Structure 1
């Protein structure tokens, strides 16, 4: 196979870097193949031609299912060739079997990053370095470029919450199409905003811990303490406080503690063991 900076071999060891992380910079087409698969070899020249033509607008990631059987099983691959398109960490498109160049080209075209996507990727890089003013400015530029793109605008709103621009996040969220604005994901984002706002006038952590011990039935100090724990990266301690509020006062902040728990789950990621444990406890209380 030709040497190209836009072609990678995928293994268990590099999957997170070459597929998940890379898909935040450009779409990654993961080609599940095998040496014995003649259709795979038949389709390869088309993929290589498109790699050259698009010149970095997508990455071709080759994954041998016999050598990387665990990854193939996790992806649910049952036959080859299978090609999955990863974009911003998620599978957003796929096709099975040999497809003509026109079909593959159309899949690449509809998933390639726009200029606004690239700005958001740059914003994420700045944020990772702690350069939040520059990161926020880039996110606002992305929003201006595609005002009618509700999915992108929602991503911008989430980014602004992380950057601490709560007013900007709320304004962006309010301008989204109704189906996005009223989605469960939007409720989760609003819960993140509310938790962040709870910190603005909150006492410090030790004072809140003392208040909760002295006034265990007051939900506000618990809620503020949960936000402090999240600020310090202590998700389980935050979930314990929020669960206590769900149990004592569902009406607090219009079911705000339950929504905040869902926001914490979203931040933890789907595989975190805390999610199953605390979701079960929450459902037992609710039902």
Structure 2
């Protein structure tokens, strides 16, 4: 690495899938500012990324330091499969790589491509077919295309969303507002919260309310809390037949 010369294009193919250690023995990932602050994910292709790096110890140039120096000098930085220094399966930053413009995912999208903090170093992700059958645990969902309402459309054809509220009503109110703005025809908030927005239906939480077969999506987690009441409502949601969106506290209760 020390003999590598700066060039307009940097291609990082040092390590990809399977790395389990820091790039430099005895060092830890210690960026002196976050990639988000430096514009990670927002830089267009071809824009130099001027990032700095705080070495763990003084001395000779390390692999990480060389990578940062080369990335800062390049107009385009490309990582093959993963930027060197990231844990494939966990998304952990084993070292502090530079933020790349483009990462070429070989064969499949890996957890590190979508889990933080690793994902912030990848930049734009391009999936490449390398002719090898693969099974990935990660799936990237495309932005849904919602149909334009027709003259005979009504609230139920647009979809009914139910949000289960918890001890912190603000988060569930925001989730309900988001569902309304996304185009749901009928939004009901199940719980004890009161207040805006007013264009939704509020009802007490009950097994009867959950049994409504017109519910197209059931949301639980935002502002749910982690007390016994939250656990009871989560259990009811998990045993329902509705498609679930699980977030926030509900995820913590499922996997503490």
For the criterion TM > 0.5, the same-fold answer is: no
Instruction: Pick the structure with more strand per residue.
Output: 2
TM-score band (shorter)?
A: 0.3 to 0.5
Instruction: Please report the TM-score for the alignment, with normalisation by the length of structure 1.
Output: 0.32
Instruction: Pick the structure with more helix per residue.
Output: 1
